[in-house]
Amino acid sequence: MSSESIAERIARIRATLPPTVRLIAVSKYVSAVEMRAAYNAGIRDFGESRVQDAEAKKAELQDLDDITWHLIGHLQSNKARKAVQIFDFIHSCDSLKIAHKLDLLGKELSCQPRVFIQVKLWPDPQKHGWEMGQLLADLPELDRCGSLRIEGLMVIPPLGLDSGKTLALFEQARELAGTIASQKWSRISMQHLSMGMSEDYPLAVQAGATFVRLGQILFGDV
């Protein structure tokens, strides 16, 4: 099993995904060498959880200029400027405070940060994100963040949730996105759902994910 190459793993996993699902290779545990192998196997979306790591790897891979960079980890305000400059998508917009910060940076840098609203649909003290009630209350304020392009919701299930509950949680995320989309917002789009990791991505795809974020299953145990 461990003799399978990165390219073989990618081909095998990709074959199980519907064409509507975009595969983000989460490269947070690997070096630019493995990322280049993944790129050569057709990957163009990479996910990193730390701004500094992405900055270093982007420099090493600067000859590969058609990579789309995704931030998937919690973002601190003091790294937000760099994040806006490095990443094409920020999946971890997890509070009104960071949304406001990204909005200001978008105005200042004349760009439109593309963000996902990270939601927490299950109590989980380890995770950041909006609880449903709070998000519904904050939507008008988010809709006033004029420079942001809000693409959809991002969700991470708590560790150890069984598969029935995990599927229910992903379906709840899709329903919440549907509810939000049915309201009249000028800036908030709910086109995308960022959900599904190595352990649970088939359930996420079943529930309507449009971006899956896979690390371990593509790169192996490193």
Q: Is 147 in the site for ligand PLP (CB under 6 A)?
A: no
Taking the complex as a whole, the smallest distance from the CB of residue 148 to ligand PLP amounts, in Å, to 20
The piece of 2-10, 127-135, 141-149, 212-220 that touches ligand PLP (CB under 6 A) is 212-220
Question: Taking the mean position of all CA atoms in its chain, how far away is CA 220?
Answer: 20
Q: Is 72 in the site for ligand PLP (CB under 6 A)?
A: yes
Q: What is the b/e burial string over 177-193, where b = at least 16 CB atoms within 10 angstroms of the residue's CB? A: beebeeeeeeebebebb
Q: Is 50 in the site for ligand PLP (CB under 6 A)?
A: no
Q: Which is nearer to ligand PLP, 115 or 156 (CB)?
A: 156
SS3 192: strand
φ/ψ of residue 21, rounded to 5: -100, 125
One of 17, 36, 197, 202 touching ligand PLP (CB under 6 A): 197
Taking the complex as a whole, the smallest distance from the CB of residue 110 to ligand PLP amounts, in Å, to 29
Q: Is 148 in the site for ligand PLP (CB under 6 A)?
A: no
**Binding-site string for ligand PLP from residue 10 to residue 49, where x marks contact by CB under 6 A and - marks none:** ----------------x-x--------------------x
| C-alpha dihedral sign at 16, 155, 141, 78 | negative
| C-alpha dihedral sign at 103, 108, 109, 111 | positive
